[in-house]
Amino acid sequence: MGRLFWKFFLFIWLGQVAAVVGTGTFFWFERQQSHLRADQPPPPPPAFDGHRPPPNEFDHHTPPHHQPPPNGKPPGGPLPMFPMIAALIASLLCAAGVAWYFAKPIRHLRDAFATAAEGNLDTRVGSAMGGRRDELANLGQDFDRMTERLQALMAAQKRLLHDVSHEMRSPLARLQAAIGLARQQPGRVEDSLARIEREGERMNGLISELLTLSRLEAGVSGPQEKVDLGELLGEIVEDARFEGAAEQVGIDYAAAPALFVQANPELLHRAIENVVRNGLRFSPAGKRLRIEAKPEADGMIHLCIADQGIGVPEAELEAIFTPFYRGRNLATGDGYGLGLAIARQVISTVNGKIAAKMKSDGSTGLLVEIVLPAAD
């Protein structure tokens, strides 16, 4: 038994003992007082005033004198020891049961926390709580949710480390190959240096995106200010039209006036630009990318970015926002698989939402919807 059990047991039992002893003593004292009042002689009769004869010993209204008991013992009797002992035993069992009822689930929680501290996050205590419906059962459910969340985070970190190492392996291998080529063929040093420079820029871009994602996941989003979303979208659309011209992809843009949001302008620009560039990357030549922003009646701003590419299977619509994810239809391209993950983190910092959907008209392509709270 743990110390908590004995504390519960001691406090509950002492309380019940005090109640039993106090109640028994009170009733014993009351009985003693009633017998003492009965032993007192009756008050003397009133004096004769000449109007009626004095009472005699044969007057049936005169109470008889109380005679002491023949054995000489006090009329109240001893304390009721047997009922009190029975009550104490019953209180002992009751206190032990109540203490066990509270201490048992806490002991399960303590063992579960100790197991989780050792690194085993598979431990669950919900089943050990039985059919309880109290705060201790809620605490057990909270512990199970906590371990599930920690387990998911640990798995995500392991997957992220694996993906980062995989992404870094390819440019490092090309760097080593370029260095070896420069040593073997001194006449091609310029080509090798150009290759080394490109791979260095690639690694720098990957590390920059990883640092951005890490800061966002840690809650570091920088200062926020009132941003003119129309102006910000105009800059993004201008860059997208310049990039899309080389691939023969057109841009259709429409935005309502006076759209303002409270956000970090640099991060919001990067988030929306990532979604737009993702749409450009997977849009075939001759197709168009549609960007539309409008206010809603509920005080939110609705931004739609729709391409006419090959689309994404419905089962992968949620997974494309996880780091380094490349689905069956997204295996091509020179990205790192971090753009949409960064976009989701940025949008969540301003209490917005982002989601990918299939087009309702049945046409091919991906529709990304961003909902942002409008600033006053």
Rounded distance between C-alpha atoms, residue 362 and residue 202, angstroms: 37
Q: How far apart are CA 104 and CA 128, in angstroms?
A: 9
Average pLDDT over residues 9-38: 68
Residue 54, domain member (yes or no): no
CB 243 within 8 A of CB 277: yes
Domain final residue, candidates 176, 199, 217: 217
Residue whose entry in the numeric block shows the structure tokens 């990067």 = 270
pLDDT at residue 214, as a whole number: 81
Say yes or no: 203 and 266 in one domain.
no
Cα(170)–Cα(165) distance, rounded to whole angstroms?
9
Residues in the chain: 376
Say if residue 363 is in the same domain as residue 234.
Answer: yes
Residues 102 and 237 in one domain: no
Position 269 in a domain: yes
Dist. CA 181–CA 203, nearest whole Å? 20
Residues 353 and 297 in one domain: yes
| 314 lies in the same domain as 344 | yes
CATH number of the domain within which 185 lies: 1.10.287.130
Tokens 């459910």 correspond to what residue? 141
Apex CA 207: angle with CA 206 and CA 212, to 5°?
100
d(CA 30, CA 229): 86
> How far does the chain reach from its first CA to its final CA, in angstroms?
61
pLDDT for 151-164, tens place per residue?
887 887 777 777 77
**Tokens representing residue 222 in the block:** 């920088």
Cα separation, 332 vs 163, whole angstroms: 17
Residues 234 and 189 in one domain: no
| Structural domain of 9 | 3-41+64-120
Name the average pLDDT for the chain: 79
Distance CA 241, CA 35 (A): 109
Asked whether residue 130 is domain-assigned, the answer is no
Inside any domain, residue 129: no
- Residue 281 sits in a domain whose CATH number is 3.30.565.10
Angle 321-325-331 (CA atoms, 0-180°, nearest 5)?
125
Domain end point (choices 120, 136, 168): 120
Q: What is the pLDDT of residues 276-328, one digit of tens each?
A: 998 898 888 889 999 999 998 888 999 999 998 888 888 888 888 888 776 65
Report the candidate in 186, 31, 5 with the shortest Cα–Cα distance to residue 101: 5
246 and 285 share a domain?
Answer: yes
Encode 292-301: b = buried (16+ Cβ within 10 Å), e = exposed.
ebeeeeeebb
Residue 98 lies in a domain: yes
Structural domain contains residue 50: no
pLDDT > 50? residue 331 = no
Judge if 236 and 360 occupy the same domain: yes
Q: Does 116 reside within a domain?
A: yes
pTM: 0.58
What is the rounded CA–CA span in Å between residue 247 and residue 365? 17
Please check whether residues 362 and 232 belong to one and the same domain: yes
Tell me the HSE value of 173 on the side-chain side, using a 13 A CA sphere. 6
Alpha helices (runs of H) in the chain, residue ranges in sequence order: 3-39, 81-117, 135-184, 189-217, 229-246, 265-281, 339-349
- C-alpha distances in angstroms, 371 versus 139, 262, 272, 301, 305? 35, 13, 12, 6, 12
Q: Are residues 173 and 312 in the same domain?
A: no
Asked whether residue 106 falls in the same domain as residue 173, the answer is no
Q: Into how many domains does the chain fold?
A: 3
Q: pLDDT tens-digit profile of 102-159?
A: 777 788 888 888 888 888 888 888 777 767 777 777 888 888 888 888 888 788 777 7
What positions carry a catalytic annotation?
166
> Is 109 within a domain?
yes
Q: 374 is written with which tokens?
A: 């409008």
272 and 186 in a common domain: no
Centre a 10 Å sphere on the Cβ of residue 344 and count the other Cβ atoms it contains: 24
**pLDDT: which is higher, 173 or 15:** 173
- pLDDT band (50, 70, 90) for residue 206: confident
Q: Please, are residues 339 and 323 in contact by the beta-carbon 8 Å criterion? A: no
Q: Locate 60 and state its tokens.
A: 């049936």
